[in-house]
């Protein structure tokens, strides 16, 4: 997701959660966010995606790039 978000010019973060899920916040144009969501529905090679939960919020413009959160 990091590489895909960076390729799309989005800002925010992505994090692997202890339960095996992935959480992310992404900011950018709606079209680019929708492209990232579409990518998430399949995921990278070898991923098993069972659900993508999307929540739209007002952007905070608090990010300078897209990074992995730990």
C-alpha closest to that of 39 among 10, 68, 69, 70:
10
Position 41 scores a pLDDT of 94
Residue 52 structure tokens: 């993508």
Position 70 scores a pLDDT of 86
pTM of the model: 0.90
Length of the chain: 70
pLDDT digits (tens, 9 = 90+) for 9-62: 999 999 999 998 999 999 999 999 999 999 999 988 888 899 999 999 999 999
Higher-pLDDT residue of 57, 70? 57
From 3.65.10.10, 3.30.70.100, 2.102.10.10, 3.60.70.12, which CATH number describes the 2-68 domain?
A: 3.30.70.100
DSSP 5-57: HHHHT-EEEEEE-TTS-EEEEEES-HHHHHHHHHHHTT-STT-----------
Domain boundaries, the chain: 2-68
């Amino acid at each position: 997701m990091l590489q895909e978000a960076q390729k799309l010019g989005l800002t925010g973060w992505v994090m692997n959660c202890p339960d095996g899920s992935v959480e992310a916040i992404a900011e950018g144009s709606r079209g680019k966010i929708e492209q990232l969501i579409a990518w998430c529905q399949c995921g990278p090679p070898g991923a098993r995606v069972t659900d993508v939960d999307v929540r739209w919020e007002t952007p905070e413009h608090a990010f300078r790039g897209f990074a992995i959160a730990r």
